[in-house]
Structure 1
Amino acid sequence: MLDTAFSSNDLMFLLKGAWLTIQLTVVAVAIGTVLGVVFGWARASLPGWVNVPIGAVLDVLRSVPLLIQLVLVNSGKSILGLDWSPFVVGAVVLGLYTAAYCTEIVRGGILAVPATTRRAARSLGMTYWQDLTSIVAPMALRVSLPGWIGLTLGVMKDTALVMWIGIAELLRSSQIVITRIQEPLLVLAIAGLIYFVISFPVSRLGAFLERRWADDSLKADQ
């Protein structure tokens, strides 16, 4: 039999950290997706002079390591007079970091829609916004979904970095348990399993939607 000091209380502590990981991921992905859609549309549709400042800010967010961004914002919030909790700091920084990558995913999806398709829609009397919402958005969504799923899973793993600003998410919770019972292999294996359980439904949802859309395309072609 396996002789271990790992208890049900330790498991509940890890699950509490996992719940915090899920919350951070959901909030960050929500922020990043909304901003990514707005900025992605802007970069794909608006004149170049509008794209220059947006692109410069996004380049900074993509280039500076996430850990440095977390530490700088967490340290600078008092200078700016912001009464933010570590969770808010983590959510905002992760959200902006996500937006920097989501912008390019959305931009690529929009640019993947053939110009001839858009011209055909306009020739049928559609307005710009009708074309954008009824033609471009559905087609761009199919192109962008795999990248967005991968980004979401990456953000979930990046939440581990928030432990440096005092948040006891899943990885930090596992380190605390390891320090107490001195069984790193067992605790990390359980933490890894929890990460898998969290991420597996997201990846399966993406695969399901891709198959569903592929089937719909085949039916439409028949």
Structure 2
Amino acid sequence: MNEPISFFSGFGPKDLWYLAQAAWQTLLISVLSISAGTVMGIFFGWILSESKVVGSITIGFVLDAFRSVPLIIQLVLFYNLFNVIGLAVSPFTAGVIILGVYTSALVANVARGGIESVGKPMRRAGRSLGLSYFQTMRHVVWPIGLRAVFPSWVGVALGVLKDSALVSVLGHPELLKVARDLITRTQQPLLVLAVAGAFYFALSFPISRYAAHLERKWQS
């Protein structure tokens, strides 16, 4: 008599390695999107702080739309839009682009708050020393203002790291998608999710600790 065939197998070392590779993909997506989004967000924040009316009507409206619409809708909508207009982009590339723009929308308000926290007297002091407008921004406003909102930026970065799990809807094998696939095969949801959560913690904890170290260093 033939033994019954089992389509499921327990969680093993190969599955752990599979999750580790997916965690690397999550880290890669997060680093690229946070880096690009931070640069764009600082630029947008500067525009919003310098031209409040025009910036709010133009860039501000677009950024508000990206902040208001759920990220999962943005991912599905723009990924399909890329294909409609003939841009053959991979789920990874689409995820980085969309997540980067979403990050810039979050960072823009943070950057604007930091820039506006540097008062006019300090700016005038820089100009009185012979610095041009852009030299004053580079050597006075941005170092002081952006450092003041650094904790807020860390919060945005950690949030984007966790939001990168939504890229799984595009089919890219990042940590959440791989975890779901393993749950289907192993039928051990608690174990798989616990391991996936541990990977997310391993990615997030060093960022928060290093950020706290920088804050203490700047205050000393």
Taking structure 1 as the reference length, the TM-score comes to 0.92
1:200 and 2:199 matched:
no
* Alignment length (residue pairs): 212
Q: Secondary structure at the match of 1:167?
A: coil
Shift of 1:140: 1.2
* Distance of 2:90 and 2:176 partners within structure 1: 19
Shift of 1:126: 1.6
Give a deviation string over 1:177-208, Cα, whole Å, max 9, x none.
11111111111111111111111111111101
* Distance of 2:95 and 2:108 partners within structure 1: 20
1:157 and 2:162 matched:
yes
* Distance of 1:74 and 1:124 partners within structure 2: 50
Query: Which residue is equivalent to 2:5?
Result: none
Aligned match of 2:87 in 64, 82, 90? Answer: 82
Q: What pairs with 1:206-221 in structure 2 (closer than 5 Å)?
A: 206-215=211-220
1:111 and 2:116 matched:
yes
Gap regions ≥5 residues in structure 1? 216-222
Query: Which residue is equivalent to 1:46?
Result: 51
Query: Which residue is equivalent to 1:218?
Result: none
Aligned match of 1:187 in 175, 192, 200? Answer: 192
Aligned match of 2:61 in 56, 62, 79? Answer: 56
* Distance of 2:161 and 2:31 partners within structure 1: 9
Query: Which residue is equivalent to 1:19?
Result: 24
**C-alpha root-mean-square deviation of aligned residues, in Å?**
1.2
* Distance of 2:146 and 2:75 partners within structure 1: 30
Aligned match of 2:70 in 65, 88, 102? Answer: 65
Aligned match of 2:97 in 92, 96, 101? Answer: 92
Shift of 1:5: 2.3
- Answer yes or no: is the 8 Å Cα contact 1:149–1:203 preserved in 2: yes
1:147 and 2:142 matched:
no
* Distance of 2:17 and 2:76 partners within structure 1: 29
Shift of 1:47: 5.5
- Answer yes or no: is the 8 Å Cα contact 1:33–1:99 preserved in 2: yes
* Distance of 1:49 and 1:8 partners within structure 2: 56
Gap regions ≥5 residues in structure 2? 1-8
* Distance of 1:79 and 1:197 partners within structure 2: 38
For 1:42, the aligned partner's letter is I
Q: Which contiguous aligned blocks of 4+ residues in structure 1 show a shift greater than 3 angstroms?
A: none
Taking structure 2 as the reference length, the TM-score comes to 0.93
For 1:102, the aligned partner's letter is V
Aligned match of 2:11 in 6, 11, 15? Answer: 6
* Distance of 2:174 and 2:209 partners within structure 1: 24
- Answer yes or no: is the 8 Å Cα contact 1:42–1:51 preserved in 2: no
* Distance of 2:137 and 2:210 partners within structure 1: 25
For 1:39, the aligned partner's letter is F
1:124 and 2:108 matched:
no
Residue identity (%):
46
- Answer yes or no: is the 8 Å Cα contact 1:40–1:105 preserved in 2: yes
